[in-house]
């Protein structure tokens, strides 16, 4: 990666251009370590210093954005809350940002089968891969329609970039509106996702202008905050979470390189280790239906209220996000056989990945833990039933972050730590202390 850790600036008399380094600023920042978040801050500080020493990397773009800054870490005098006040919508820049001359903006109508196929194709061939380029996310078209059309969505936030001449879609970024509660305050924010630039256009620097453009369009709807995730440390994560994986089909995972077999371990024993019962164990465990929406909404609201950052779902949201959709999202609940009360809830979404360059397998079918609520059934048992259902449905692996109460079941249910960390960010909102993953109640797709 390029390190642009310098600014061109003029010196005192304005005559000479001088290029100076500002590396000192961030690495010298004072970090006040509190007992509670000592570990979190230390971890972040270490990372900041690592990036500074290894890459000499600074975050020029993000330092100008209204986001929590590294230099403010641990500075308790700064208020928690929005960093910039909203401006009148009429003062928001009305014209799109300029793209390099060969490209043009397009709004991607995801309802159109043709456009959806173009977006699918762009993402399937160019979106996120693992470190070793063995896997690439393969979000299905149905998934994209689900992810991009929640209640109250804005078509104008589904932004594409086309080549002027050929009209080929070469880049994409999206936002969706979501009511998110931070502490006691519920604010509609934008969730930014699916930033993707075609492989052949790397080093064309399209990403920054795309982020600015989506921000502009979010502002035009009078929305001033956003939530997003990244695998990289930017200024400044509100939480740093860890992915965990539970093998459902260990042989395939080993064959395709998703997991590795220790030299002194046998395949036979590994397969035995991950074996699951044929059917679920909790009485009253069944698939969620439309009629369950009010009960599930109540259950989720109550449950999510214990986390510091969580979505604030109404019934429309629950119907959209959690009502089962084939190969997109699955939700199960526990209906008490006696009282018929809905007491517990478990859900996961389906995100396959392309397996690159394996002769025997082309798709890795992964389930991702979504929102889970346990009131009567122990969470461990609930999740075990979710694993059983996923295994029945031929998923290869079940993934979960260590957010909410997930940590309580990960080890016992034989999840193993992943090599991927996911950092959560808020745009135009400062939190005083980094959150522990267990204080986070938000899942971004």
Q: Which residues are catalytic?
A: 445
166, 339, 359, 360: which one contacts another protein (CB under 8 A)?
A: 166
43, 201, 323, 380: which one contacts another protein (CB under 8 A)?
A: 201
Q: What is the rounded CA–CA span in Å between residue 370 and residue 342? A: 18
Query: Does position 356 bind another protein by CB under 8 A?
Result: yes
Tell me the window of 190-198, 338-346, 375-383, 429-437 that interacts with another protein (CB under 8 A): 190-198
30, 94, 203, 360: which one contacts another protein (CB under 8 A)?
A: 203
Between 356 and 380, name the residue whose CB sits nearer to another protein. Answer: 356
Query: Does position 82 bind another protein by CB under 8 A?
Result: no
| Token pair 């960010």 in the structure block, residue | 425
77, 94, 268, 359: which one contacts another protein (CB under 8 A)?
A: 268
The enclosing H or E element of 125 equals: helix 113-126
**DSSP assignment of 192-241:** EEEEEE-GGGTTS--HHHHHHHHHHHHHHTT---EEEEESS--S--SEEE
Site residues for another protein, 48-77, by CB under 8 A, read: 56-57, 59-62, 64
Pairing label, strands 329-335, 285-287: antiparallel
| SS3 assignment, position 60 | helix
Please give the C-alpha separations between residue 126 and each of 83, 224, 422, in angstroms, as whole numbers. 34, 29, 20
8 A C-beta contact, residue 191 and residue 228: yes
Tell me the window of 39-47, 258-266, 323-331, 339-347 that interacts with another protein (CB under 8 A): 258-266
Site residues for another protein, 115-154, by CB under 8 A, read: 117-118, 120-121, 124-137, 141
Q: What is the rounded CA–CA span in Å between residue 109 and residue 160? A: 10
What backbone phi and psi angles, to 5 degrees, belong to 54?
A: -75, -55
Instruction: Lay out the site mask for another protein across 213-252 (x = CB under 8 A, - = otherwise).
Output: ---------------xxxxx-x--------x-x----xx-
Q: What is the rounded CA–CA span in Å between residue 68 and residue 238? A: 9
Query: Does position 399 bind another protein by CB under 8 A?
Result: yes
CB 247, min distance to another protein, A: 8
| SS3 assignment, position 71 | helix
Site residues for another protein, 9-38, by CB under 8 A, read: 9-10, 14-21, 23
User: What single-letter DSSP state applies at residue 440?
Assistant: B
Query: Does position 333 bind another protein by CB under 8 A?
Result: no
Query: Does position 326 bind another protein by CB under 8 A?
Result: no
Site residues for another protein, 276-315, by CB under 8 A, read: none
Please give the C-alpha separations between residue 97 and each of 155, 194, 198, in angstroms, as whole numbers. 18, 19, 19
CB 45, min distance to another protein, A: 18
Query: Does position 106 bind another protein by CB under 8 A?
Result: no
| SS3 assignment, position 348 | strand
Site residues for another protein, 404-433, by CB under 8 A, read: 416-422
Pairing label, strands 185-197, 226-230: parallel
């Amino acid at each position: 990666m390029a390190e642009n850790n310098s600014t061109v600036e003029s010196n005192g008399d304005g005559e000479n251009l001088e290029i100076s380094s500002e590396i000192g600023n961030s690495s010298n920042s004072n970090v006040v370590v509190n007992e509670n978040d000592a570990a979190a801050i230390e971890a972040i500080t270490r990372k900041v210093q690592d990036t500074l020493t290894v890459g000499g990397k600074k975050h020029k773009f993000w330092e100008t954005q209204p986001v929590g800054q590294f230099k403010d870490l641990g500075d308790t005098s700064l208020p928690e809350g929005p960093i910039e006040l909203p401006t009148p919508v009429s003062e928001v820049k009305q014209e799109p940002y300029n793209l390099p001359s060969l490209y043009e903006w397009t709004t991607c109508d995801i309802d159109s089968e043709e456009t959806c196929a173009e977006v699918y194709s762009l993402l399937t061939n160019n979106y996120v891969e693992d470190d070793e380029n063995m896997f690439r996310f393969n979000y299905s078209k149905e998934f994209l329609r689900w992810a991009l059309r929640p209640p109250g969505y804005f078509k104008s936030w589904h932004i594409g970039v086309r080549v002027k001449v050929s009209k080929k879609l070469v880049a994409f970024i999206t936002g969706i509106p979501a009511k998110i509660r931070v502490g006691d305050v519920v604010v509609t924010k934008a969730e930014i996702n699916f930033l993707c630039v075609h492989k052949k256009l790397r080093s064309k620097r399209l990403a920054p202008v795309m982020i600015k453009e989506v921000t502009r369009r979010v502002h035009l709807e009078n929305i001033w905050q956003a939530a997003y995730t990244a695998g990289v440390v930017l200024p400044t994560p509100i939480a740093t979470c860890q992915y965990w994986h539970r093998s459902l089909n260990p042989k395939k995972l080993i064959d395709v390189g998703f997991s590795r077999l220790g030299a002194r371990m046998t395949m036979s024993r590994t397969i035995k280790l991950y074996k699951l019962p044929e059917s679920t164990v909790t009485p009253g465990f069944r698939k969620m239906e439309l009629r369950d929406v009010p009960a599930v909404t109540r259950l989720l609201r109550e449950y999510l209220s214990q986390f510091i950052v969580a979505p604030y779902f109404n019934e429309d949201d629950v119907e959209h996000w959690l009502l089962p959709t084939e190969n997109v999202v699955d939700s199960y609940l526990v209906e008490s056989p006696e009282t018929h009360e809905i007491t517990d809830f478990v859900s996961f979404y389906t995100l396959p990945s392309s397996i690159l360059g394996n002769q025997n397998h082309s798709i890795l079918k992964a389930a991702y833990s979504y929102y889970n609520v346990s009131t009567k059934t122990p969470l461990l048992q609930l999740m075990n039933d979710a694993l059983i259902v996923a295994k029945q449905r031929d998923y290869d692996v079940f993934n979960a972050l260590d957010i909410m109460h997930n940590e309580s079941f990960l080890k016992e249910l034989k999840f193993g730590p992943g090599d991927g960390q996911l950092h959560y960010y808020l745009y135009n909102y400062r939190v005083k202390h980094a959150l522990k993953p267990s204080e986070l109640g938000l899942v971004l797709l």
